[in-house]
Structure 1
Amino acid sequence: MHHHGYLWTGSKQRFDDEALRRPPHPDPPPADKPELFARYKEVKAEFPTVDLPPLETAHWLIKPATLVRGTWEEPKEAAEWLGQRLAECAPRFACETDRDSTRLALLVHSAAERLGWGGDVSHGFYLERPAFLSVALVTCSPNRAAPDLACPAVRI
């Protein structure tokens, strides 16, 4: 078991495009609804490659390996990476409460515990402008929530 780190920062408007943040339904809509069918084809083609954070954390594993920002065998090391990313971005957090160093330390501690039993970690923060930060740690080989998903590092 190991853990992959993912980081995304972008406009809130782009983040809010939920259709591109979920895998398409296995069954396409009827062909007699051209607008729906066209959108389905777009999502089917783009979801696996778009850098947007997926709605389900485990679905990061579907994304290209180039989006992996780090890989760790030990939960503590992965959680430390999370802590470093949060500390770097904290001055830009839109909510003052989110900047609290004690709160951030608790998130890091909680992340190490969750990764230790094979869970995933995902946090999101609104930043100034309005922008959004998504940071995730995904347990791999296997993932508890989606054990059938292959490790993206194998596909490199």
Structure 2
Amino acid sequence: MHHHGYLWAGSKQRFDEEALRRPPPPDPPPADGRLELIRRYKEVKAEFPVVDLPPLETAYWLIKPRELICGTWDEPKEAAAWLGQRLAEYAPRFASESDRDSTRLKTLANAAAARLDWGGDVSHGFPLERPTFLSLALVCCSPNRAMPELGCPLR
């Protein structure tokens, strides 16, 4: 097992486009259904795998383009260290003063190492200065515990 790190920072309005952050339903709408539903289904089916927006379910990062991977680590502590570095880097921009607390940020990184160690994924989001949002994720790979059918994006 190894771990991939992902970072997304962008407009909160774009982050809130949830239709592009979830996979399309397994079955398309009926061919004689509303044209708007058919159009939207086709758009989401084409865009979800390639759009850089963080997926609502963390494991789905694994189907995104490999170029979105910010790092890959064999050891949970190494992946958690990357998370801790990103948290420290962005902390001055966090909108909430409590989110900037260095003890809290170290606790998040330590908890990430423990979660990754048993095969869980880690995902955090932080409002930055308006209107920006930061999303950080660490995803277990080969296999992913939540979705073992998803392959490694590096293969």
Q: TM-score, normalised by structure 1?
A: 0.98
Amino acid corresponding to residue 88 of structure 2 in structure 1: A
Instruction: Percent identity, please.
Output: 77
Amino acid corresponding to residue 87 of structure 2 in structure 1: L
Partner of 2:130: 129
- 1:38 to 2:39 alignment: yes
SS at match of 1:37: helix
Q: TM-score, normalised by structure 2?
A: 0.98
- 1:89 to 2:72 alignment: no
Partner of 1:143: 144
Give the gaps of 5 or more residues in structure 2: none
Amino acid corresponding to residue 14 of structure 1 in structure 2: R
Give the gaps of 5 or more residues in structure 1: none
Partner of 1:60: 61
Partner of 1:4: 4
Runs of 4 or more, structure 1, over 6 Å off, are none
Amino acid corresponding to residue 13 of structure 1 in structure 2: Q
**Per-residue CA distance 1:37-72 (angstroms, 9 max, x = gap):** 000000000000000000000000010111000000
Tell me how far apart the structure 2 counterparts of residues 103 and 86 of structure 1 sit (CA, whole Å): 10
SS at match of 2:130: coil
- Count matched residues: 154
In the TM superposition, what is the alpha-carbon distance from 1:30 to its structure 2 partner? 2.1
**Per-residue CA distance 1:15-54 (angstroms, 9 max, x = gap):** 0000000000010112321001000000000000000000
In the TM superposition, what is the alpha-carbon distance from 1:130 to its structure 2 partner? 1.6
